[in-house]
């Protein structure tokens, strides 16, 4: 008789001095969690794990032996999400993301040390992945780029890569005003960092340059171009385009 796999799901709350609030964490431990150091997936928008069917997905992958045992840390956002997620370099043209730097400090200085002191997790770069969806994906990318000593891989699902410093009506230009593209363009290559990028063909309807390709795909393809200009190659970047995929 096949042994039933079961996850150990825990809820933790820590007080963040950077965000001046309590941050809730959902920690998903693998079946037969033990004393060895496990790879970690640090995931933004941890409050959405139920709607993502994360537990069922993990169990299915474990049964198929499609993934190695890992610890998932879901970091919950709250009503301040639009201020705490973004780019550390600057807020967007609407002053959204003004606390992105504070959120990054909370993760690096408070959440990661707490998890590493409480659970058996690896510190190896290749075994620390940060990921997110939409604005949480932009945040994950920005944090991985600014803290390459903590993360070896980053996953961006339908990322808000349009994040811009100028409104379309104020003379916006693709080559100057997308913030994360500018951040990568002006800085040095982060050696060893790998990227997993996803976009759906139905993520949105917007096509600001009228080239017949939605902005979500254009922004992702342009980001890949910036990364390749830095010296990354196809071994470092995986782009998945989901036909019919929605935001």
**Tokens read off for 100:** 């992105």
pLDDT, tens digit (0-9, with 9 covering 90-100), for 173-217:
888 889 999 999 999 999 999 999 999 877 767 768 778 767 788
Statement: residue 92 has pLDDT above 60: yes
Confidence of residue 240 (pLDDT cuts 50, 70, 90): very high
Distance separating the N- and C-terminal Cα atoms of the chain: 41
The pTM of the full predicted model, rounded to 2 decimals, is 0.94
Structure tokens at 122: 């690896």
Q: Which of helix, strand or coil describes residue 185? A: helix
- The tokens for 124 are 């190896």
Per-domain boundaries in the chain = 8-246
* Secondary structure (DSSP) of 28-96: EEPTT--SSPBPEEEEE-GGGTTTTTHHHHHHHHHHTT-S---EEEEE---TTHHHHSS-SS---TTST
DSSP bridge partners of 114: none
Band (1; pLDDT cuts 50, 70, 90): very low
Q: pLDDT tens-digit profile of 105-137?
A: 999 999 999 999 999 999 999 999 999 999 999
What pLDDT, in 10s, does the model give residues 36-56? 999 999 999 999 999 999 999
Neighbours of 76 (CB within 10 A): 18
What dotted CATH number matches 8-246? 3.40.50.1820
């Amino acid at each position: 008789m096949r042994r039933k796999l079961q996850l150990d799901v825990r809820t933790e709350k820590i007080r963040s001095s950077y965000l001046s609030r309590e941050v809730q964490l959902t920690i998903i431990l693998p079946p037969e969690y033990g004393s060895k150091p496990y790879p970690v997936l640090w995931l933004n928008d941890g409050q959405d794990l139920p709607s993502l069917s994360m537990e069922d997905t993990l169990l299915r992958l474990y049964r198929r032996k499609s993934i190695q045992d890992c610890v998932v840390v879901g970091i919950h956002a709250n009503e301040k999400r639009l201020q705490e997620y973004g780019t550390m370099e600057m807020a967007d043209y609407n002053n959204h993301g003004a606390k992105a730097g504070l959120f990054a400090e909370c993760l690096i200085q408070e959440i990661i040390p707490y998890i590493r002191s409480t659970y058996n997790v690896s510190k190896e770069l290749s075994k620390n992945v940060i990921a997110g969806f939409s604005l949480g994906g932009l945040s994950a990318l920005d944090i991985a780029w600014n803290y390459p000593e903590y993360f070896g891989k980053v996953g961006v699902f339908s990322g808000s890569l349009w994040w811009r410093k100028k409104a379309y009506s104020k003379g916006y230009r693709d080559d100057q005003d997308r913030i994360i593209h500018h951040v990568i363009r002006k800085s040095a290559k982060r050696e060893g960092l790998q990227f997993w990028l996803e976009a759906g063909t139905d993520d949105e309807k917007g096509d600001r340059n009228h080239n017949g390709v939605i902005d979500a795909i254009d922004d992702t393809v342009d980001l890949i171009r910036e990364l390749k200009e830095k010296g990354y190659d196809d071994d470092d970047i995986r782009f998945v385009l989901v036909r019919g995929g929605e935001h």
